[in-house]
Amino acid sequence: MAKATSEKTASPEYPLTTTAVIAPIVGWIIPGAGHIYLKRYVRGILLLISVFAMFFIGLGMNGRIYKPNGGDILDILGFVGDVGAGGLYFLARIMDWGNAMAANAAADYGKTFIIVAGLLNFIAAADAHHIALGKKP
Amino acid sequence: MTFTLTHFSAAVVFALFTSIVFGITQKNTTREQIRYGAYCFAMFVGGVFVAGWAMWLIRR
């Protein structure tokens, strides 16, 4: 009995593998790439299109990109959402996109689109992690 | 490039891409993913209509 319990503790049901670490990181940096890395090509391409479209539509609507030193708690939360887009966020910062202040409803929607693109990418990266672990087909 | 979407078109675009991600990430089989994605899209767009009519009633 004691031996069976120790064996169960020693070998977790879903052991953490290198792939399970790499896939979500790759998926975070390039949206959808985690799924493509795991050979889920259709899912990966659909995720890539969705996150890219949300992010660039948001920028096209003059959405604002949050910076890490916003000060205000809402600015910090906005930054956490934005940074979820991974490489797209860093590209936007390097290219100095998303500096326009929200002056109309469309720009406010744009800001929301960019934040949600990042949050959706976090979900996609977590999904890639679950696939790599074997929790999900 | 700058463009402006109407409130409704912005909501539909938002619903479309969000539903795709929800469908892929929240369900296991392809059939379940399509069904859940369509369900989320319908709920998002249905919510827009409900909110729109609610605001119309409040304005009266």
pLDDT per residue as tens digits for the range B2-60: 878 899 999 999 999 999 999 999 999 999 999 999 999 999 999 999 999 999 999 98
Residue A24 has a CB neighbour count (10 Å cut-off) of 22
Range of the domain at B49: 9-59
- Within 8 A of B7 by CB-CB distance, chain A residues are 105
To the nearest whole angstrom, how far is the Cα of B33 from the nearest Cα of chain A? Answer: 10
Answer whether residue B37 is part of any domain. Answer: yes
Find the DSSP H helices in A1-104. Answer: 2-10, 18-29, 33-37, 41-60, 73-83, 87-94
- Within 8 A of A46 by CB-CB distance, chain B residues are 20, 24
pLDDT per residue as tens digits for the range A48-80: 999 999 999 999 999 999 999 878 888 999 999
Answer whether residue B2 is part of any domain. Answer: no
Name the DSSP class of A68.
T
Whole-structure pTM value:
0.91
The answer to whether residues A131 and A38 touch, using CB atoms and an 8 Å cutoff, is: yes
ipTM, two decimals, is 0.93
Q: How many CA atoms lie within 13 A of B24 on its CB side?
A: 28
**What's the N-to-C CA distance of chain A in angstroms?**
33
Domain spans in chain A, listed from the N-terminal domain onward: 16-133
What's the total number of domains in chain B?
1
- Within 8 A of A116 by CB-CB distance, chain B residues are 14, 18
Contacts of A48 (CB under 8 A, 6+ apart): A30, A31, A32, A33, A36
